[in-house]
Structure 1
């Protein structure tokens, strides 16, 4: 049976869509959607998936691993290369590394510049 739905977009809340899109654009190499603006920015993948960023007034960053402000979304990225090197590049670009690292050497949990957790894994 064919799928009933195809995933075409994932959208993250944030205080500054263009700034968060720039972080993920640099990290992933995805291309900025031409209609990006201060209220909604997007990055387009080759497979048609759009990673979107929408402005939310009063945005509150998730508190991972705690749930005072739930994470609501967790993205994982498979990477080629050395995890330490890739982590260092992401940290230089504005990511943060929480103390809690539940995956050992297999993956790293980072947070983007506005607090959304994401993993990089081999």
Structure 2
């Protein structure tokens, strides 16, 4: 029988961990980990999952959809209302790239560090 693996953390590289944690905290409602600092910040969920943000010297933001600097990672969020969710993230510092391949089904935004994140109609 293969070993059972449980995902416990997802970590994104960035130049400002606390700022990126604040963006995703507003988006998800997750709590800021008490040991968050300028080099690493985390958000924790009730299930124990940690979304981490780590400072990387000379961080280069992804250029979605151009792959000259690859996406590195992207997160998808299921939402009831695409317009409201998009407005919340744009108010929080996200950008909306011109290229939108999802039509009415999903929207691509980029977080303040440039990582793509998708809003998917629930």
Query: What is the TM-score when the length of structure 1 is the normalising length?
Result: 0.95
SS of 1:59 mapped into structure 2:
coil
Q: How many residues align?
A: 121
Instruction: Give the equivalent residue in structure 1 for 2:120.
Output: 121
Assess, with a 3 A threshold, how the Cα gap between structure 1 residues 3 and 77 changes in structure 2: closer, same or farther.
farther
Q: CA deviation at 1:92?
A: 1.0
Instruction: Give the equivalent residue in structure 1 for 2:99.
Output: 100
CA RMSD of the aligned region, Å?
1.1
SS of 1:87 mapped into structure 2:
helix
| Structure 2 unmatched ranges of 5 or more | none
| Distance of 1:79 and 1:3 partners within structure 2 | 33
Query: What is the TM-score when the length of structure 2 is the normalising length?
Result: 0.95
Q: CA deviation at 1:4?
A: 2.4
SS of 1:35 mapped into structure 2:
coil
| Distance of 2:14 and 2:113 partners within structure 1 | 7
| Distance of 1:85 and 1:70 partners within structure 2 | 28
| Structure 1 unmatched ranges of 5 or more | none
Q: CA deviation at 1:2?
A: 6.8
What aligned pairs does 1:22-101 form with structure 2 within 5 A after superposition? 22-80=22-80, 82-101=81-100
Runs of 4 or more off by more than 3 Å in structure 1? none
Q: Deviations over 1:28-87 (max 9, x none)?
A: 10000011011000000111110000000100000100100000111101112x211211
